[in-house]
């Protein structure tokens, strides 16, 4: 079989009904972060039934996770000496929010869409269907095809970090995060910090006492918010009048940005709100920093302290603490645009869809396990189905996109691993 014959055979072997059934089966199983065992077992069972080596991999407790969990690890073994591919995808999903009109775990098919937490359990099912299509097409593989369906990505990538620490590796990776079938080789990192502003408790009806004057922490933290800048808007560098230190980077246009995630106020670190007659002695603002290469937790802390110290110079009652959250995705993903796997995915996207592949303009604002794989020295690409209907009530994805991406994955395996 020459390359074109292998690719055509792999594409032709993709079974749309199998893709749909695999996706729907996964969507019916709840799998919040730390509670992935049932869906991991589902994937292991399906891979085993299709002749793909598979096993559960225990993942120990991680500071970001509520408890230990498991990965589902699969392998379609090659004869040796060929290029290996790693298909990585997380199996945890967002909490159920208000506003759903469909059963979040019903996997309902309507008007060409499948409803449920398709991000990213659908792409995980597509990996399995793609590997099975290559196997059934009789494409002789030299390189291994690894499938790592991992827990805890929404808690900072616990499953992928553990799998890599246990020796999982490949020449290239493919990550099916939602890109609307567009190509992505770059995205930001996520560094999260709490800014605590400290006040001094005082009862509403008591007199002021010299040296122990009441300080309302909620009022003080209100001074911080406008200085940080607006959420989801590009922030200028210090050289351009902003407060963050960074150098602009090609491919990361529109970054850095922040999101003001939550604000709390009350008495003590527990933010007790049972006594509204008392001045709150603590207020905390959670900020998610989406950064460009060259920025780090250390650079953000330096810049924050410079900003907050400026408030303290003008307000003797202003005091603060900075507390960073546990490690999420602390460094950006920045992989070569011209690697063999990027070229193969682009080529096979056009072969399947008839249209040239385009570059994603949206994914660069996200964070994902691509950071950990890239950090481990594995170049790769993010290319997956769905996107615009994710992380909102009635999350869904197009059946046709799931079938399309499976064909592209199968063609890429047939081209590269053979």
Using pLDDT thresholds of 50, 70 and 90, give the confidence band for residue 1.
Answer: low
Averaged over 408-418, what is the pLDDT? 97
Please tell me the distance from the alpha carbon of residue 395 to that of residue 354, in angstroms, as a whole number.
Answer: 28
Averaged over 140-161, what is the pLDDT? 96
Residue 362: the pLDDT is 87
Starting from the edge strand earliest in sequence, which strands make up the sheet with 53-59, in order?
53-59, 69-76, 145-150, 85-90, 172-175, 380-382
Pick from 398, 223, 393, 237: nearest CA to 309 = 223
CA geometry: angle at 38 spanning 22 and 125, to 5°?
A: 20
**Structure-block tokens of residue 87:** 């298909």
Averaged over 338-343, what is the pLDDT? 98
Q: Is the pLDDT of residue 209 over 90?
A: no
Averaged over 330-336, what is the pLDDT? 92
Averaged over 383-407, what is the pLDDT? 96
Q: Is the pLDDT of residue 246 over 70?
A: yes
Please tell me the distance from the alpha carbon of residue 414 to that of residue 7, in angstroms, as a whole number.
Answer: 6
Using pLDDT thresholds of 50, 70 and 90, give the confidence band for residue 366.
Answer: very high
- Counting residues of the chain whose pLDDT is more than 90, the rounded percentage is 91
Please tell me the distance from the alpha carbon of residue 152 to that of residue 13, in angstroms, as a whole number.
Answer: 32
The rounded Cα 289 to chain-centroid distance in angstroms is: 14
The CA-based dihedral angle spanning residues 18, 21, 27, 29, taken in that order and rounded to the nearest 10 degrees: -110
Strands (DSSP E) contained in 222-338 are: 257-266, 282-290, 319-324, 333-334
Q: Is the pLDDT of residue 327 over 80?
A: no
Q: At what angle do helices 399-416 and 3-13 cross, to 10 degrees?
A: 150
**Structure-block tokens of residue 340:** 């063999």
**Structure-block tokens of residue 36:** 């992935």
Please tell me the distance from the alpha carbon of residue 375 to that of residue 156, in angstroms, as a whole number.
Answer: 14
Q: What is the mean pLDDT of the chain?
A: 95
Using pLDDT thresholds of 50, 70 and 90, give the confidence band for residue 330.
Answer: confident
pTM of the model: 0.91
Contact 411, 10 (CB under 8 A): yes
Using pLDDT thresholds of 50, 70 and 90, give the confidence band for residue 5.
Answer: very high
Residue 64: the pLDDT is 80
**Structure-block tokens of residue 105:** 């775990």
Kindly give the pairing relationship between strand 69-76 and strand 145-150. antiparallel
Q: 375-392, pLDDT tens digit by residue?
A: 999 999 999 999 989 999
Averaged over 124-146, what is the pLDDT? 97
Of 5-14, 17-26, 62-71, 80-89, the one with minimum mean pLDDT is 62-71
CA geometry: angle at 13 spanning 7 and 19, to 5°?
A: 115
**Structure-block tokens of residue 296:** 């780090």
Q: 49-90, pLDDT tens digit by residue?
A: 999 999 999 999 888 888 899 999 999 999 999 999 999 999
**Count of beta carbons in the 10 Å neighbourhood of residue 68:** 15
Contact 209, 360 (CB under 8 A): no
Q: Is the pLDDT of residue 2 over 80?
A: no
């Amino acid at each position: 079989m020459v390359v074109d014959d292998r690719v055509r055979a792999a594409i032709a072997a993709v079974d749309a009904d199998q893709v749909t059934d695999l996706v729907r089966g996964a969507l019916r199983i709840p799998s919040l972060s730390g509670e992935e065992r049932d869906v991991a077992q589902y994937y292991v069972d399906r891979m085993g039934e299709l002749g793909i080596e598979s096993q559960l991999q225990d993942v120990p407790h991680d500071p970001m996770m509520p408890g230990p969990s498991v990965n589902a690890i699969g392998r379609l073994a090659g004869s040796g000496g060929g290029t290996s591919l790693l298909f990585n995808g997380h199996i945890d999903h967002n909490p159920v929010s208000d506003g759903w009109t469909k059963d979040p775990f019903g996997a309902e098919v309507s008007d060409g869409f499948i409803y449920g937490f398709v991000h990213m359990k659908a792409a995980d099912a597509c990996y399995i269907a793609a590997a099975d299509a290559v196997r059934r097409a009789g494409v002789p593989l030299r390189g291994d095809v690894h499938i790592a369906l991992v827990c805890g990505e929404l808690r900072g990538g616990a499953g992928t970090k553990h799998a890599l620490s246990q020796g999982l590796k490949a020449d290239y990776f493919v990550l099916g995060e939602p890109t609307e079938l567009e190509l992505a080789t770059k995205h930001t990192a996520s560094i999260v910090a709490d800014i605590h502003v400290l006040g001094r408790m005082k009862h509403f009806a008591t007199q002021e006492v010299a040296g122990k004057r009441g300080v309302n922490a909620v009022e003080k933290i209100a001074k911080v918010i406008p200085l940080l800048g607006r959420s989801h808007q590009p922030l200028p560098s210090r050289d351009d009048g902003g407060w963050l230190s960074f150098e602009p980077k090609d491919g990361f246009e529109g970054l850095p940005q922040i999101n003001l995630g939550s604000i709390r106020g009350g008495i003590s670190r527990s933010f007790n709100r049972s006594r509204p007659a008392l001045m709150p002695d603590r207020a905390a603002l959670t900020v998610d920093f989406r950064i460009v290469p060259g920025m780090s937790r250390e650079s953000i802390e330096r810049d924050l302290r410079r900003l907050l110290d400026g408030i303290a110079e003008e307000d003797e009652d202003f005091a603060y603490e900075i507390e960073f959250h546990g490690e999420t995705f602390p460094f950006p993903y920045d992989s070569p645009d011209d690697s063999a796997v990027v070229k193969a995915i682009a080529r096979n996207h056009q072969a399947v869809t008839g249209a040239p592949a385009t570059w994603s303009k949206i994914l660069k604002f996200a964070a994902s396990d691509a950071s950990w794989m890239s950090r481990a020295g594995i170049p790769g690409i993010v290319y997956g189905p769905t996107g615009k209907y994710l992380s909102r009530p009635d999350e869904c994805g197009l059946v046709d996109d799931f079938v399309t991406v499976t064909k592209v994955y199968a063609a890429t395996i047939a081209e590269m691993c053979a």
